[in-house]
Amino acid sequence: MKHSFADTILVTGGAGFLGSHLCERLIAAGHDVLCVDNEYTGTKRNVSQLLKSDRFEFLRHDVTFPLYVEVGEIYNLACPASPVHYQRDPVQTTKTSVHGAINMLGLAKRVRARILQASTSEVYGDPEVHPQPEGYWGSVNPIGIRSCYDEGKRCAETLFFDYFRQHQLDIKIVRIFNTYGPRMRPDDGRVVSNFIVQALKGEDITVFGDGRQTRSFCYVDDLVEAMIRMMATDRGITGPVNIGNPTEFSILELAETVLRLTGSRSRIVSKPLPDDDPRQRRPDVSLAHSVLHWQPTTPLEEGLQPTIAYFRELLGI
């Protein structure tokens, strides 16, 4: 028997890397899911296994235009999230973050739905505080090549809190740090997918700068668990809450780990560091630990293995 609209969960960007894993978890938990995606960086292939479920519906739609549906909860994940894709059409990236937030907040206001915004560690820019707590306001270049994404997401957070204060909307905000796993795009320019694809193809592994800049990598299953827990918190808990893995690795360490796990003979080569590339990125997840009773449980090597297997199959290697 079909549930009422109040039981339906809308996931924008639901055919993307994160969104597809979230849809899968929600369906497995017995929810009805409406997956909305314009397939700019997402692909219907990511949710193909869900299409046969009568609890799942796919709608091709761009969130920069209003959406008139009846739902009980909204996860707003729609936005290209890797520099390669968000810099390809920076104006559209900003519109997706800002107009998309306005449209989804308007929908949430109309149907009185709880709404979660997938924000990003990029709101901290190139941080002067390490690790980054939620109270840190960031060090962001407002006119740089990454600004379309950084400032777009910062503005989306502003809108969420203004809807909360002005309309008493039930909002949740999570700031997502580097996440990896199966269904990443091979051409997304992110360091994990880049290194795996280069290693599997036997190409040089390109490390920018001296490779000593650090990142923290969270496996997708851990991240989805945190998002679901955040959505389930009491009404007064708005966030923002950092979600990520606080274990820090240098880019060079990641490259060497990928080489070892793939058995590749690729060489590691150095290239100049891109503009506005952060030197350090590591979340302070103490708030997530206390509020969500959550911490990541998947070690890097354990998460890299299914990710590498996914890319082997995708590339036919």
**Torsion 194-198-203-206 (CA) sign:** positive
Judge whether 180 counts as a catalytic residue: no
Which one is catalytic: 149, 163, 180, 219?
149
Fold exhibited by the domain 5-179+219-246+288-292 = Rossmann fold (3.40.50)
Rg value, the chain, Cα: 19
| pLDDT > 90 fraction of the chain, expressed in percent and rounded | 84
Strand ranges inside the chain, DSSP E: 8-12, 32-37, 56-60, 73-76, 114-120, 171-176, 179-180, 205-208, 214-216, 218-219, 241-243, 248-250, 268-271
Q: Which fold has domain 191-214+247-279+299-315?
A: UDP-galactose 4-epimerase; domain 1 (3.90.25)
Give the pLDDT score at 213.
87
**CB distance 35 to 54 below 8 Å:** no
- Express each pLDDT in 266-284 by its tens digit: 999 998 876 656 677 789 9
Query: From the CB of residue 265, how many other CB atoms can be counted at a distance below 10 Å?
Result: 8
> Tokens 């308007």 — which residue?
106
Q: Summarize pLDDT for 197-232 with one digit per residue, the tens.
A: 999 999 999 998 889 888 899 999 999 999 999 999
> Which burial class, exposed, middle or buried, applies to 82 when counting CB atoms under 10 A from its CB (0-12, 13-18, 19+)?
buried
The pLDDT tens digits of the residues spanning 162-178 come to 999 999 999 999 999 99
3-state secondary structure of 84: helix
Alpha-carbon separation of residue 25 from 14, 218, 225, 226, 297 (angstroms): 12, 17, 9, 12, 17
Find all residues with CB under 8 Å of 35, minimum gap 6, and list them: 11, 14, 15, 19, 23, 47, 50, 56, 57, 58, 59
Lowest mean pLDDT among 22-26, 115-119, 282-286: 282-286
- Domain range annotation of the chain: 5-179+219-246+288-292, 191-214+247-279+299-315
Q: State residue 127's pLDDT score.
A: 87
Confirm whether 5-179+219-246+288-292 and 191-214+247-279+299-315 share one CATH topology.
Answer: no
β-pairing verdict for 73-76 and 8-12: parallel
Determine which of 37-46, 82-91, 273-282 has the lowest per-residue pLDDT on average. Answer: 273-282
Residue with tokens 């193909």: 48
Judge contact between 279 and 131, C-beta under 8 A.
no
pLDDT at 143 over 70: yes
